[in-house]
Structures are given as structure tokens and as C-alpha cells.
Amino acid sequence: MKLKLLFFYSFVLFTSLTQAQRSLSKEEILKEMIKNGDVKNTSGDSAISALYHLKVVNLKAGLEKLRERGVDTFACWVETYPGIVARDSCGAPFVKKAYILWAYGGSFFAKRLINNCEFEETTTAFASELFDYYKQNSRIINQEYVMPLVYSGEIRKDSSFRYEGAIVFHETQYYLYLQSGSVSKLINVAKSFFTDEKSIFYKDNLNAKWFRLFNKAKEVLKSL
């Protein structure tokens, strides 16, 4: 059973239940979350740094080799499984699966990484649609936010902002990194972000172009 922890974000240490407050609209909550850094657009150098911070074995070395070959269009998909310990020859402290997709010389390639194991590269024609979609929609995708679970938000009498949301423990985390030339984006999403209908941003996530890109990546991986 997934364990949910309800929490309040606030910029004050102590609040009184008797304080006057004003409930915020979805648009106002998003504006406050952006202002306070609760949601961010991760692109450019910060995107690749965040990807490397996941410490997936052979991922960084694999991307550097591609760059040395002149590859500037590629994607990385990483799945992490908190709380699940690997017990096989590819063992690592926690299970991590990763895929590298890239375009080179008019063809498309893929390589799979599971913990400490690196598999041979294969060709895949399906990746072309993924890269084409990102190229065509990168301006919008790079401006979109992946919204976490948020149920309500308010401004307190002392002008502090807080919102009620949820964290789902032991939930698979997905990371999708896309780069096309000098343009890049890192998408970090948990399954509950697009399945929990109680979240006020549930439909926003489903309708976002980043989510369509995310699903295209999943379809490519199914073909491998």
C-alpha cells in the first residue's frame, strides 16, 4: 500500500488556526509556487547536472562518448525504484533502469543500462517521432511545469503562503532528458502526478505537451 504523507508548505515557523486566511485559485497557487521555487523548469546546464546527480552507472560516460562522436540529439530515460534492493549480477543499492536514445547519421539508436550492467546498442526507428515532437514543441515544453500533488492553497493573515499537497513514498520516479542541439529539458515525474484526480493540477499535467512527450518516450521503450 502506498503511504501518503500530507504536509503544509509555509514560510513561517508558527501559525495560529484562528488567523484569517484567503483561499487561492489554481492560477494564484501556481504563481506563488513559481515565485517561491516550489516548482522549476529544469533546462540547459542545470538539466544535465540534475540527470548526472542520479548517479546512474555508465550514463555520464555514455553521453560523453556520444558527444565526442558529434551527437547532439539524444534522450535519456531513467526509472528509480525507492525501497527496492537489487539482488542480481547487475546489483546496486537500489534498482535503477536507464535508456539512452540518440540520432546519428540519419539513423536512431538505443542502449539499455540496468544498475551496473550495460547492454549492446540497438537500432530503433521509433525514436524519430520522439525527437521530432521535441524539436517542434521545445519552446512550449521548456516553459511548462511538471506539477506535483496539490489540493489547496492559501494566503495567511501575515501574508505567508502555504499549500496542502501529498508525497507518495515508495513510488517509481521517472526522469526524461531531451536534448536537441543547444536546447534541452529534464522532466521529473511520479505516476501519482497524472493519476491522482484530487490534485488541482491533474488535468493540467494530462494536457501538457511534456506529458505527451513523456508518453511518446514510453512507447519507444516498449519497442526495444
DSSP 153-220: EEEETTS-EEEEEEEETT--EEEEEEEETTEEEEEEEEGGGGT-TTSTTHHHHHHSHHHHHHHHHHHH
In DSSP terms, 111 is beta-bridged to 100
* Residue 13: inside a domain: no
Those residues whose C-beta lies under 8 Å from the C-beta of residue 13, and which sit 6 or more positions away, are none
- Determine which helix (DSSP H) or strand (DSSP E) holds 79, and give its type and residue range: strand 73-80
The burial class, CB within 10 Å (0-12 / 13-18 / 19+), for 37 is: exposed
3 state DSSP class of 120:
coil
Residue 94 binned pLDDT confidence (cut-offs 50, 70, 90): low
The burial class, CB within 10 Å (0-12 / 13-18 / 19+), for 120 is: exposed
144 residue type, one letter: E
Domain that holds residue 201: 22-222
* Residue 163: inside a domain: yes
Residue 132 binned pLDDT confidence (cut-offs 50, 70, 90): very high
3 state DSSP class of 126:
coil
Residue 147 · residue 188 · CB < 8 Å: no
* Residue 5: inside a domain: no
20 or 157, higher pLDDT: 157
Residue 83 binned pLDDT confidence (cut-offs 50, 70, 90): low
What CA–CA distance (Å, rounded) separates 29 from 216?
29
* Residue 2: inside a domain: no
What CA–CA distance (Å, rounded) separates 124 from 166?
38
Residue 87 binned pLDDT confidence (cut-offs 50, 70, 90): low
DSSP 117: E
* Residue 211: inside a domain: yes
Q: What is the pLDDT of residue 121?
A: 85
* Residue 15: inside a domain: no
What is the number of structural domains in the chain?
1
What is the average pLDDT across 172-183? 92
42 or 168, higher pLDDT: 42
Q: What is the pLDDT of residue 158?
A: 85
* Residue 6: inside a domain: no
* Residue 63: inside a domain: yes
Give the closest residue to 14 by CA, choosing from 192, 133, 188, 160.
160
Q: What is the pLDDT of residue 15?
A: 39
- Work out the angle between the directed axes of helices 59-68 and 44-52 (0-180°, nearest 10): 140
